[in-house]
Structure 1
Amino acid sequence: MTLSADLFWSFRSPYSYLAIGRYRALSASHDIAINLRPVYPLAIRQPDFFERNHPNWLSYTMRDMIRVAQFHGIPFGPPRPDPIVQNVMTREIAADQPYIYRLTRLGQAASRRGKSLAFCDEVAQLIWGGAENWHLGDHLAGAARRAGLDLAELDAEVEREAEALDTEIASNQVALEIAGHWGVPTLVFDGEPFFGQDRIEMAKWRMAQKGLKPR
């Protein structure tokens, strides 16, 4: 019997990027279906989050994300552009956000088709893997194609059904909180949340207890 899990995930979260490839590999090698459910990042849900954090938070997070990428051999470069427009010095989130709404709605449209794990992984590799101007040219179209999707079709749906997609994205956040957490990446398996890129092996261990088998 194929097991199933939900992965709550954000395009702006570096740790989401550092987790998604490994979760995708797990779903390819084992009999587990992982449904990625995108949520809007804290910068959208709680714009003052960065201003409220300890001054060391950002510098430590930057150091740690690079270290995790190096440890796992995951390509990592600063996003160019960042999916969230933010003043790095003041940490203020800009009112105009030209990227994150489209990206998250595209991820939800892919989720409707059962291909959000592949799509978000391919896009995240562009954003966080070092592709410059990932939002221009054929970058996103290529990512969609590699995931078995058509970007023009997804974009048309995003334009046509933005409100419905946002409702679904909001329900993803509610489901995450009901499961017992609030941040990403969080995998929820059999009602149990596993938060962070450093909980993948523990999640796999729990799945093995429930009958996880190699494909």
Structure 2
Amino acid sequence: MTLSADLYWSFRSPYSYLATRRYVELTEKYDLDINQRFVYPLAIREPDFFERNHPNWLGYTFRDIFRVAQYLGIPMAPPNPDPIVQDIATRKIAEDQPYIFELTRMGQAASRRGRGLQFAHEVSQLIWGGTANWHEGDHLDQAAERAGLDLQELRAEAKAEPEQLDAEIAANQETLEAAGHWGVPTLVYQGEPFFGQDRIEIALWRMQQEGLQER
């Protein structure tokens, strides 16, 4: 019997990136479907989040993500450009955001086609894996192709249906919070949330208790 879980995920979340290849591996090894549920980053939902947080939060997060990447053997570099335009020194979020809305809407369009996890996996490797100017040239086209998708089709849908896609993205956030969490990455299985890239093995253990089998 195929089990199903929901994955709440953001393009700006380094921990989402660090976890994604392991989620993909779960779907390849086990009889498991993961439904990708894209959400907007905290920088969009709560622009003052970074200003309100403890002064050590940002520095520790940067130290930790590169440490985790090194430990797991995952390529990682500061995104160039960052999918969120932000003054890191002041932590202020810019009003003009040229990347994150289209990215997330295209992701949701990919989820409509049942390929959201694959799209997230390929695109996040560009953003966080060291590809400079990932938004230019044919980087995104090739990533979409590797995910079994047509980027121009996704882009056209994102442009034609921004309100509908945003409503689906907002519904994803509401469903995440209804499940008992608010951050990403969070895998939700049968209403139980498993937050963070360090809870994947525990989520697997829980699903194996419920009969998850290898393919």
Q: What TM-score results when the alignment is normalised by the length of structure 1?
A: 0.99
| Structure 1 counterpart of 2:35, one-letter code | N
Classify the secondary structure of the residue corresponding to 1:171. helix
1:38 is matched with which residue?
38
| Structure 2 counterpart of 1:99, one-letter code | Y
1:153 is matched with which residue?
153
Classify the secondary structure of the residue corresponding to 1:74. coil
Classify the secondary structure of the residue corresponding to 1:102. helix
1:86 is matched with which residue?
86
| Structure 1 counterpart of 2:20, one-letter code | I
1:115 is matched with which residue?
115
1:98 is matched with which residue?
98
Q: CA deviation at 1:185?
A: 0.3
Distance 1:211 1:69 in 2: 31
| Structure 2 counterpart of 1:174, one-letter code | E
1:142 is matched with which residue?
142
CA RMSD of aligned residues (A): 0.4
1:50 is matched with which residue?
50
Uncovered stretches (5+) of structure 1, i.e. residues with no partner: none
Distance 2:147 2:105 in 1: 16
Distance 2:100 2:5 in 1: 25
- Could you give the per-residue CA deviations for residues 6-48 of structure 1, whole angstroms, max 9, x where no partner exists? 0000000000000111001111110000011000000000000
Q: CA deviation at 1:190?
A: 1.1
Distance 2:101 2:111 in 1: 15
1:211 is matched with which residue?
211
Distance 2:197 2:155 in 1: 29
Distance 1:89 1:194 in 2: 32
- Could you give the per-residue CA deviations for residues 50-104 of structure 1, whole angstroms, max 9, x where no partner exists? 0000100000000000000011111101100000000010000000000000000
Distance 1:79 1:98 in 2: 15
| Structure 2 counterpart of 1:39, one-letter code | V
Uncovered stretches (5+) of structure 2, i.e. residues with no partner: none
| Structure 2 counterpart of 1:199, one-letter code | R
Distance 2:179 2:24 in 1: 21
1:197 is matched with which residue?
197
Distance 1:210 1:49 in 2: 37
Q: CA deviation at 1:109?
A: 0.1
Distance 1:20 1:171 in 2: 21
Classify the secondary structure of the residue corresponding to 1:98. coil
